[in-house]
Amino acid sequence: MDHLLHLDRTLDELDPPRWMPPAADATHLVRAVHELRCVPLGELGPADLRTLVSQQVALPYVLPLAVRLLIEEPLLDAYFYEGDLLLAAVNAPASAWAVLPELGARLRTVITTLPETAVAGLPRGAAEELAHFVGEPAPRR
For the stretch 68-113, pLDDT in tens is 999 999 999 999 999 999 999 999 999 999 999 999 999 999 999 9
CA distances from 18 to 27, 47, 59, 94, 141 (A): 19, 22, 15, 25, 46
Q: CB count, 10 Å around CB of 90?
A: 22
| Cβ-proximal residues to 132 (8 Å cutoff; 6+ apart), any chain | 90, 138
Tens of pLDDT, residues 46-62 = 999 999 999 999 999 99
Q: CB count, 10 Å around CB of 120?
A: 10
